[in-house]
Amino acid sequence: MDCAPGVIAMEKATRFPPNERLKAHRMRRCWSQEQLAEAIGTSSKMVGRWERGETSPGPYYCQKLCEVFELSPWELGLLSEDPVQRVQTEPETDSAARELPFFETFLPKHTSWRVALAILCLLVVIASFLWLSRSSVPPVHAHIVPGGSWISPMNQQRVSDIVHFAAYAYPTHPGDPAIDYVNFTMWWQGVDPRMWVIACAVHVQSSKDVYSCDASLTKLGAVAGPIKISFDVYDLKGNSNLAPNGVHTITYSS
C-alpha cells in the first residue's frame, strides 16, 4: 500500500542522522551490538537502529549508555551539541549577548526536551556515583574501645582457693582490631589500690570470644575475706578497656 506524500515527509522529518560516535565507542571497546545490548538491557536490533539514526534512545537508555561508556551524552552522539562548550567557544557579538539570562545562555534556542532529559540523566549518574562512593567508605570511630562481659565468678560469690575466671571479650564495631589478650585482676585489703594483682593473663580463647583461666588465691598471697576482681581487655592495636563490665566482689574462705 502506497503512503501519502505527507506521511513520507513526516517520517523523514523524524529520522535522526547516523550516530557514528556511538558506533565508534562501541567498536573501540571491541563490543558487538549484541554485547552492548546485553550490557544495557535491550536488543541488538535497537542498538542498530540507534547507530543508523532510525531512532534515538530515551532517557532511561541514555543514562544506561552514559554509565556503560562512562561518557557524557554529547560524547556518545546522543545530543548534537554540548551547550556548555558552545557557550564557552562562541564569540560574543555585542553587549546584549552578555546580558542574556543564564538559562538562555546555557541552552541553545533550538534545545529540545531531549537535551533537558539528558542533562537530568547526567545529574542522576553523578549523584549516584557520589552516593556510592560515600557509602563504600567504612565508618571511622573516633576512639576504639574493645568490649567485654563477665561470665565467672558471679558477684558476691563465695570461693575457695581455686577461682575460675571467665569473660567475653570482642571488638565493639565491625572492622575494629581483634582482641590480643585479657587480664584478670584482683585487689584485697593490704594491696596498693593503684597496683591491682594480676591473677592471670589469657592470650588464647577457650571458645568463641571467651577467655578463661584458673588462679590459686593461696599462691597469689590473698587473705581471707572480701576480694574485688575485674578484667581488662586489650586489642592488637593497643586499645584497651579497663573493667568493661564493672568490678565484682567475691568472698574468699581459706
Q: Please state the domain extents for the chain.
A: 5-135, 147-252
How high is the pLDDT of residue 159?
Answer: 94
> Can you tell me the mean pLDDT for 162-177?
95
- Could you tell me how many helices (H) and strands (E) the chain has, helices first? 10, 9
Q: Decide whether 5-135 matches 147-252 in CATH topology.
A: no
User: Cβ neighbours of residue 219 under 8 Å, at least 6 residues apart?
Assistant: none
CATH architecture of the domain with range 147-252: Sandwich (2.60)
How high is the pLDDT of residue 157?
Answer: 94
CB-based contact 153:245 (threshold 8 Å)? no
How high is the pLDDT of residue 187?
Answer: 95
Q: Which CATH superfamily is domain 5-135 in?
A: lambda repressor-like DNA-binding domains (1.10.260.40)
Q: Kindly tell me if the per-residue pLDDT of 162 is higher than 70.
A: yes
**pTM of the model as a whole:** 0.46
Q: Mean pLDDT across the chain, nearest whole number?
A: 82
Position with higher pLDDT, 247 vs 134: 247
How high is the pLDDT of residue 84?
Answer: 53
Order the strands of the 147-152 sheet from edge to edge: 147-152, 162-170, 210-216
Element (H, E) at 219: helix 217-220
Which residue, chain included where needed, has cell 560574543?
Answer: 92
> Can you tell me the mean pLDDT for 107-133?
78
pLDDT tens by residue, 174-201: 999 999 999 999 999 989 988 899 999 9
pLDDT tens by residue, 61-79: 999 999 999 999 888 888 7
Q: Kindly tell me if the per-residue pLDDT of 122 is higher than 60.
A: yes
How high is the pLDDT of residue 138?
Answer: 55
